[in-house]
Amino acid sequence: MSKELNSYEIAQQQIREAVNNLGLSEMVFDMLKQPTRELTVAIPVEMDDGSIKVFTGYRVQHNFALGPAKGGIRFHPDVSLDEVRALALWMTFKSAVVGLPYGGGKGGVICNPKELSNRELQRLSREYIRSVAPILGPEKDVPAPDVYTNSQVMAWMMDEYSKYKCYNDFGVITGKPIIVGGSLGRNEATARGCTFVVREAAKAIGLNIKGATVAVQGYGNAGSIVANLLHKLGCKIVAVVDSTGGAYNPQGFIPEKLEVFKSEIGTVKGYPGSKNISSEELLTMACDILIPAALENQITEEIAPRIKAKIIGEAANGPTTPGADRILTKNGVLVLPDILANAGGVTVSYFEWVQNNMGYYWSEEEVNSKLEAKMVNAFYEVYKMYKAHKQVDMRTAAYMVSISYVSEAMGVRGWLGEDTKVQKCRKVS
């Protein structure tokens, strides 16, 4: 990533802007601009051929003012310490904006999981968790799956941590299989939370959700589920793209049929009755709601002036560059930022942690109802901040809500000194 798009620097700039708009002290920025703890580990793993390969791993913990750190573990060849730092910062604010009693954490291992056998992947997962175990725990730091990790990897990690502690400790990790303490509703949580926020945003700007046209960039787990849920609300899904191409039909698609086609063919491109389109064509087409659910930095300063959507719901992390944000705001596009729009995942991870800690498990209906309440409340907290500060966009408003929350906790704990100004906000709900 180029210097101007360094994720850690972007995260720090977002904190600076929110702190300034809130009129908070420099001490608040100094406390939030960098992580509290960073751990870099060398992980020796026995490969299937008997050789030993040493992998580099990280665990970064940003802030503990509201509670234990919370954030995923990713396995990827391009993992870097700056990336993990930025993701840990963002997790603090993603948790805070939906009122969760967490700080932010993130982990990563530099590896290519596609080049590892299942046995090698399990050994790496277990050795990583043993390397960082002293700083983990339900009351310290609670990891979860992220890029190229999944519920099976979380099960191995939970099992290894339980061996380290000499007792079952299901609450140390979320995103686990149901049989070992996972939560019902977790698979759809990110997409469902995004759908709730998009629905409320449409109400707020007077857009009738029934009949609203939707374009979805990225037709994987999150994108396909958002499309399906919005379709059930009465939206018309007119365009979708995946990594190999896209499909457009102004009459709309039935998402379930698209999923069947993709499962058989491997792509949505070429769906019967549709026109092939590129990702850029999808982003800039006429539609009411745009859902970026693919990679970061997709909506750039070059693309932003051509976007015609009224609402952008960021199901992906970091799909919009800072320069594009400014253009979209100037053009009247309501951007629902990633730390709000895709916070459904961490919210249901929180529900999983709560269920693990009390040993009592909710139905999927209960989980979805609690998720809806959290996401709706969070949207209106952010929207209220956005309307109250005419000079800020929704992303900055989300950071302002989050930082108000975190700074108040730091203040009452005595971390900022007696004379440091903080802004009171809502209680954890």
Report yes or no on 336 lying in a domain.
yes
DSSP label at residue 137 = B
Question: pTM score, two decimals?
Answer: 0.92
Give the residue from 113, 145, 171 where a domain finishes: 171
CATH number at 62 reads: 3.40.50.10860
Is 210 found in the same domain as 118?
Answer: no
DSSP string, 306-341: G---SEEE--SSS-B-HHHHHHHHHTT-EEE-HHHH
CATH code of residue 200: 3.40.50.720
pLDDT of residue 295: 81
Can you tell me the distance from the alpha carbon of 336 to that of 342, in angstroms, rounded to the nearest whole number?
9
Question: pLDDT digit string (tens) for 381-405?
Answer: 999 999 999 889 999 999 999 999 9
201-254 pLDDT, tens per residue? 999 999 999 999 999 999 988 999 999 999 999 999 999 999 889 999 999 999
More confident residue, 4 or 219: 219
Query: What percentage of residues in the chain have a pLDDT greater than 70?
Result: 96
pLDDT at residue 105, as a whole number: 97
> 47 falls in which pLDDT band (50, 70, 90)?
very high
pLDDT digits (tens, 9 = 90+) for 308-326: 999 999 998 889 988 899 9
Amino acid of residue 426: R
The alpha carbon dihedral of 345, 347, 353, 356 has a sign of negative
Q: Is residue 106 among the annotated active site residues?
A: yes
Confidence (pLDDT) at 419: 58
Band (pLDDT 50/70/90 cuts) for residue 108 is: very high
At residue 427, the pLDDT reads 47
Q: To the nearest whole number, what is the mean pLDDT of the chain? A: 94
Which of 94, 106, 176, 310 is catalytic? The answer is 106
- Residue 423: its pLDDT value, please? 57
Range of the domain at 297: 189-341
Residue 375's pLDDT is what?
98
Q: Classify residue 184: in a domain, yes or no.
A: no
Domain annotation covers residue 380: no
Domain boundary among 171, 197, 230: 171
Residue 1 is predicted with a pLDDT of 38
Cα dihedral 76→81→83→84 (10° resolution): 80
* Same domain, yes or no: 150 and 274: no
Residues 363-398 as b or e (16 or more Cβ within 10 Å = b): eeeebbebbbebbeebbebbbebbeeeeebbbbbbb
